[in-house]
Amino acid sequence: MNKQQHLIALDLDGTLLTDEKVISERTKRTVLKAIEEGHIVVIATGRPHRASIDFYHELGLDTPMVNFNGALIHHPTDHKWDALHSPLPIRTARKIIESCYELEVKNMLAEIMDDVYLDQYDQEVMEIFHTHDNHPVTIGDLQTHLKEDPTSLLIYPHEDQVKELRQELDDNHAELIEHRKWGAPWHVIEIVRAGMNKAVGLDKIARYYHIPKDRIIAFGDEDNDLEMIEFAGVGVAMQNSIDQLKSVAKHITHSNMDDGIGNFLEDYLKLNVKAI
């Protein structure tokens, strides 16, 4: 069974990455061994391209990538690949931004692909949102500076505003958007166009490689992984996952701090990974 080619989808934060935001040596060796044996590895993340491409290159990938929870499905090294970019309508974005001004959230950030628009300058927030000198940031009132449909909105509310904000999004924009909350310690709300999720990207990539669902292995830990874990024939939740994800996953592996991906792939794919 496991000699057949599999498609392996890796979430980043809390899954492939340790809490220190690095790939452990054991997991890296295992993923590279899986690639060497002919399996296809892809990254599927809520992060933008700019905040995930370094890990893509670290693993030596040459495959499509899912960013912004499915709002951008593209191939970083093959620009002829049939990319799919599904941004939010700017009218919807502006209504949400106005509501956030009224609520007086801490900060907001809009992204159009890798162009970044930050409402208020804050060095900590820029680090949270993975902005750096290689990608200039436009700082100032989003209602003024945002002129195109954004790929995503990131809202950084005060912790006691999270429930109210998500209820507001459900009450007024449910048909037009998807919204997810980042895990602790950041209570960030991520918003993309309705119908966009990681499973959409994974389905497109699986069709491209002609991989059936029963040979799709997907790893995740948060609520933005739910659709992907349910979609995959082999949906795997990390031990550090939220309970909701564990309840829909077909397997549970060790945590992101205990080489969960490495452990599962070695066993499931019968990989002979040499220790250093």
Residues marked active site are found at 11
Other CB atoms within a 10 A radius of the CB of residue 200 amount to 20
SS (H, E, C) 71-119: CEEECCCCCCCCCEECCCCHHHHHHHHHHHHHHCCCEEEEEECCEEEEC
Beta bridge partners of 116: 111, 137
From residue 234, give the alpha-carbon distance in Å to each of 2, 11, 93, 116, 261: 12, 14, 35, 35, 13
Please report, as a single letter, which amino acid is at residue 177: I
Joined together, the tokens standing for residue 104 give 């007086």
Please report, as a single letter, which amino acid is at residue 224: N
